[in-house]
Structure 1
């Protein structure tokens, strides 16, 4: 009997998924659902630093004092047959096909799904790593929320030149005029109207949108009292200020850094081929071009489409995870994986709890003429950025002939095995 068990284990194909974000969870749940009925043939293991699932695209809400539901990765995996291991990944040996975790455990894999994602790039500007807050996770967002609460509680009155608006004693500087910066500045200004919120970066907020959508973004920021400084670059972050490239200094009691992302150097250290940003270069099936037994999804991947390399968003992350699962399943059944094809659909941006913009886009992410603003945009965005639990629940129950992921607030069925 022991020999039979050993033979069965040796014949089991072990898939290890590193990272339980949007892309990693999509890959794990989808693959486990597709292979779960093949008793003993495939084993899926998910490795993540914590048990909590991080809703990254809603962390600006946590930072502004709006608590999110605590979603458990093990609970989300329940019923799929996938195993969960909590731990920090410290090294990947692509040659030996092993993964080392911080407690010195070593996991062997036959196929690896690399989904470790990215974090705020605080290394590019001196002082940002030491003095700026980030939205890398729920704990980081809560640290900023605690700081904002403390600043707001210090009180203080309005000053001449601010229109008589009553303010606290603090100034919050949000660095980065991209979508995360805009959402964060608006959320903080709405929740803490007594604080002075400054949004600064190289581009005008909403620069990638059409004229109507961009105008609505700017009008909302003006309404909320956010001071926008575009066309400037942060050169240094100090304990109480942000120095700009031109020499100007802006006082800051709290700095939120949203100016760009970086990926972990683990992939490069493992010997995987990476691009100039450290992202793993993939083929059309999302396999590493240097190690085809490694699939790379989400922000960690440099995925080339006809319009260029995809940029990291949840909109693209979950489909990459689903496609990786489909590709692995096809290979295990002796078939060739199909090429990944993806086109952008929309850019939803919240502007506080009662306002939003949804810019519909062409597949290459360039803006269409159509956009939604105001209350209808709020309802749309809350639908497409709501808890991913129902999405993963559908994946668990899906038939063996298809896959699901949300597109524009709808669940689209993708036939991937014909």
Structure 2
């Protein structure tokens, strides 16, 4: 029996699990197990909606895996023993022959004093719902971070709660990576919604405010969207300065080649640099890792992973948005979309994993894989 264990059921981990299970479901000698702390799939792209009290689908991982042959194991991962090839959960251990490390990332509240105690996050539906429950009683909301999560959260909060004072704080202008015309539309939309922008670095989070280098902003609620950190469970492998698993060209750990790292948990180098964490790039890493594992089981060498960015879609409330199309290295092209067309495009992108996963379920099962790469 070859045991393949996937840790983490985000976009990348789910793609790896479904691709592997669908293609090996007729092989009794391969077992695919997906481990995740919760049985609910977190649509990270929709967490700003959850944070403002809007309804989103309640997707359950066992239901998504139905018909694939993958086994779901709920539980918190407490340790990975690379020597013994075991994963520790709270009350048991799971052995593996091949590991797919897809534990993702969470908001880095440890990087700013006071953020752990006073900041809200969008790590999962529970944390997002907690913020939603407090918005109605607030007057000032400050959002730290001018990246996509910060922009979309500011726009959703401002459009759903127009009486609130919403301030977006960051070291860069919102939309700084877009071309001038797309960025101008984004700023006009934030102006229309009444979102105040402040350039600066947050040095401390207080119970009722946010401290910058030169001023303190009042804040009944503070949402941290300014950076992420990964799980420390990869410490036994070669990692980069952020704790992400350093991979070779085929997404294997450079120090432990029986481990594949995907999504936000991996430092994947491309010709333009290290990939940044997005659903756009996460799902392809999961699919590539699955196909590479299948090639290994057949006695073949995995192929290098190649990825180029295509777009940066941003929601600006439910009826507006901006989509910046990009070159492969994520630099902006001249072409972009705005308004309702962009909002519809973003919704299509947000919903696209589900048709993709359904197609994976219908993948043709490989013929049985035998030792030494022989096939029936």
- TM-score interval (norm. to shorter): over 0.9
Where 2:109 maps in the other structure, the secondary structure is: coil
Where 1:45 maps in the other structure, the secondary structure is: strand
Q: Which of the residues 42, 45, 49 maps onto 1:57?
A: 45
What are the within-5 Å matches in structure 2 for residues 175-194 of structure 1? 175-194=144-163
| Whole-Å separation in 2 of the counterparts to 1:344 and 1:31 | 24
What are the within-5 Å matches in structure 2 for residues 16-415 of structure 1? 16-38=5-27, 40-103=28-91, 105-151=92-138, 170-230=139-199, 232-246=200-214, 248-268=215-235, 271-386=236-351, 388-399=353-364
| Whole-Å separation in 2 of the counterparts to 1:144 and 1:328 | 40
RMSD between aligned alpha carbons? 0.9
Q: Please list every run of 5 or more consecutive structure 1 residues that lacks an aligned counterpart in the other structure.
A: 1-11, 152-169, 402-418
Equivalent residue pairs, number:
366
Superimposed CA distance per residue, residues 148-177 of structure 1 (whole angstroms, 9 cap, x where no aligned partner): 0233xxxxxxxxxxxxxxxxxx10000001
Task: Give the structure 2 partner of residue 158 of structure 1.
Answer: none
Superimposed CA distance per residue, residues 182-221 of structure 1 (whole angstroms, 9 cap, x where no aligned partner): 0000110000001100001000010000001100110000
| Whole-Å separation in 2 of the counterparts to 1:111 and 1:75 | 24
Where 2:344 maps in the other structure, the secondary structure is: helix
C-alpha contact 2:115 2:205 (8 A) present in aligned 1: yes
| Whole-Å separation in 2 of the counterparts to 1:111 and 1:179 | 34
Deviation at 1:387, TM superposition (A): 6.0
C-alpha contact 2:26 2:365 (8 A) present in aligned 1: no
Where 2:80 maps in the other structure, the secondary structure is: strand
| Whole-Å separation in 2 of the counterparts to 1:199 and 1:308 | 28
| Whole-Å separation in 1 of the counterparts to 2:141 and 2:24 | 49
Deviation at 1:400, TM superposition (A): 5.1
Where 1:79 maps in the other structure, the secondary structure is: coil
Deviation at 1:389, TM superposition (A): 2.5
Deviation at 1:398, TM superposition (A): 2.0
Task: Give the structure 1 partner of residue 4 of structure 2.
Answer: 15
Superimposed CA distance per residue, residues 357-384 of structure 1 (whole angstroms, 9 cap, x where no aligned partner): 0000000000000000001111111111
Where 2:292 maps in the other structure, the secondary structure is: helix
Where 1:369 maps in the other structure, the secondary structure is: strand
Where 1:234 maps in the other structure, the secondary structure is: coil
Relative contact order (alpha carbons < 8 A, sep ≥ 6): 1 or 2 greater?
2
